[in-house]
Amino acid sequence: MNLLPAFRKPGLLLMTAIVLFWTTHCFSASSGTLKWYYKTGGMISGKPAVDKTGTIYVGSDDSYLYALNTDGTLKWRFKTGSGIGSGPVIASDGTIYCGSDDFYLYAVNPDGTQKWKTTTTGWPEGSPVIGPDGTIYVGDNTNRLHAVSNTGTVTWTYFTGGGEGLSTPALGLDGTIYFSCGNRDLFALNPDGTLKWKYRTSDLIHSSPAIGLDGTIYFGCDDSFIYAINPDNTLKWKYKTELSVRSSPVVSPDGTVYCGSADDYLYAIDSNGSRKWRFKTDSDIFGDPVLGMDGTVYCASHDNYIYGINANGSLKWNYLTGDCVYATPVLGLDGTLYCGSNDTYFYAIHNTIDHYYTMPVFKPQSGYWSGLGITNLSNDKSANVAVTIYGKTGTILASESRYIPAHGQGKFLIGTTLTDDGWIKITSDRPVAGMNLLGQYQSGSTDYFLADIPFVSWRSRSMVVPHTAQNANWDTIVFLANPNDVTAQVTLTHVAGIGAGAPPYSVTIPANGSKQVSVGVIGGSTAIQGGYVLISSTTGLTAFALYNNIKTGKSSYAGINAVPITTE
């Protein structure tokens, strides 16, 4: 993203870079306070990257790419020929790709040695993006997008014909490459580098595009609008802010679009283009927001602050740096928030992130019981675990919290006094694993075991129940939970083993609600011998199928979580 054109020209490095020293200072505090900071020799305007070991990579205008350990100490630094104003990206083999104002794209090994470098026609703008085949896409300030192989060979270059420098590209599932270049057009290229289409706006576009799960392309524009464009180059909707939008959007699993504006606000826009809320800072927001697993939104502002904002738009915390912040934050593996500032410091901020898990089945009515076994996966930290039961209409029926010691296990026998069906949500400040042991009483006080229902941490808009049976011997019930703050429109289709499908069956699930549907209803028959059920939803769901032959007088039960085709 072309956020700092006035500062990004080669040769404008601070003179103090000649006599730099690098320091780390560590602190101990609670969420939203400083964990440690690391001083570089220049301002930091790019987004950091974190690898699978937790190592943090960040570029600085002092010409160095830094690799920092999770305690804020220097692992190594790699020198380029000029300032680094964009963020690095990490390939699956650990290679770090980073552009520099010396007109080179660098490939750096995980040990800090150079793998290769390839020249571009200008200094790179925005961060590189890696395609599924390993191709690296990077734009530069001469309005050219380059496709570079993972060996450093430029395979093609596309010239836009004019503009003010390219944004970070975004890749569609079909391989389409979307980007802007500081003129009035959003570009869509085919994977071979030919033009697919371009969408014309009324003013300059400096925002990098983002792609929703349904393929919708979102971006901001200097005409003050946030745009949603369909993959066929038609307008889906646009939302007007009060000033130019150079921040790049981020899209949540439920379709909410978060984006900053020069009017000082961070906006939350629903999937239909209506405003859910906006949060006021004291200056422009040029950097991109970041979405946490618990729904917290993080952004930085020209008012020198880094913000954590709750999912409802209220302030969670803010942290004051020493200068304006154009950079985009990133979350570490343990939830720590990392962000650079124009004050030359790189900050690590304490940030407790909740881990979310769901189980789509709760059966409390007389004759049933539910017992949860939860294991804390942390080696050295206790977990604060909360279990919440939601009813079918989305109301909270009961909740219970407790601490589980490191590598310990907790048992929850919940909802013993409830009478409504529903689903269960588990939140924890540490990663956990577990299951719900669902049982049924029959013949007085005799226990009949029903099924193990494992926790899942994903949500999906597209799932499959891989086997069904609905006949004289067997019943199959599909349980669906909608752990979102918006209503879900769901289509269920039974497909016989030979591939023939029944007409789709549609249901509506309220926000934070649930539904259970018999396969006989879905398939329109009581003589279903097999096949599977496809589930499609407007929001991410979880689902579980429960099988039983209790109507034959036997007591055979089994269950399986639906298998996600896509996850959120």
Tens-digit pLDDT profile for residues 413-444: 766 777 888 899 988 878 899 888 777 665 55
pLDDT, residue 18, reads 27
Mean pLDDT calculated for residue range 16-34:
48
pLDDT, residue 21, reads 33
pLDDT, residue 126, reads 84
Mean pLDDT calculated for residue range 533-552:
83
Half-sphere exposure of 179 (CA within 13 A, CB side): 33
Confidence of residue 29 (pLDDT cuts 50, 70, 90): very low
CB atoms closer than 10 angstroms to residue 550: 15
pLDDT, residue 560, reads 82
139 touches 181 (CB < 8 A): yes
Q: Is the pLDDT of residue 15 over 80?
A: no
66 touches 40 (CB < 8 A): yes
Give, in order, the Cα–Cα distances in Å from 269 to each of 258, 278, 279, 465, 511.
Answer: 6, 9, 12, 32, 17
Lowest mean pLDDT among 21-30, 87-96, 387-396, 526-535: 21-30
Residue, of 160 and 311, whose pLDDT is higher: 160
Helices (H) and strands (E) in the chain, counts: 1, 49
First to last CA, the chain: 25
Q: Return the beta strands (E) in 381-467 as ranges.
A: 383-391, 396-404, 409-413, 422-428, 432-442, 446-454, 460-465
pLDDT digits (tens, 9 = 90+) for 268-324: 999 999 999 999 999 999 989 998 867 789 999 999 999 999 888 999 889 999 999
- For residue 523, the surrounding DSSP H or E stretch is helix 519-523
Confidence of residue 343 (pLDDT cuts 50, 70, 90): very high
pLDDT, residue 365, reads 60
pLDDT digits (tens, 9 = 90+) for 470-517: 777 777 889 999 988 788 999 999 887 665 667 889 999 999 999 999
CA dist 283 and 84 (Å) reads 25
Mean pLDDT calculated for residue range 195-222:
95
Q: Is the pLDDT of residue 456 over 90?
A: no
pLDDT, residue 496, reads 79
pLDDT, residue 303, reads 94
Residue, of 353 and 211, whose pLDDT is higher: 211
Listed residue (27, 28, 44) closest to 306, CA to CA: 44
pLDDT, residue 490, reads 94
41 touches 17 (CB < 8 A): yes
CB burial of 474-495 (b: ≥16 within 10 Å; e: otherwise) equals: bbbbbbbbbbbbbbbebebbbb
Residue, of 27 and 378, whose pLDDT is higher: 378
List domains and CATH numbers for the chain: 1-89+281-353 (no CATH), 355-454 (2.60.290.11), 460-566 (2.60.290.11)
pLDDT, residue 364, reads 72
Mean pLDDT calculated for residue range 149-170:
92
Strands of the 210-211 sheet, one edge to the other: 210-211, 217-220, 225-229, 235-240
Q: Is the pLDDT of residue 526 over 90?
A: no
CA dist 551 and 369 (Å) reads 20
- For residue 117, count CB atoms less than 10 angstroms from its CB and return exposed for 0-12, middle for 13-18, buried for 19 or more: middle
Of the segments 158-172, 416-430, 526-540, which one has the largest average pLDDT value?
158-172
Length of the chain: 568
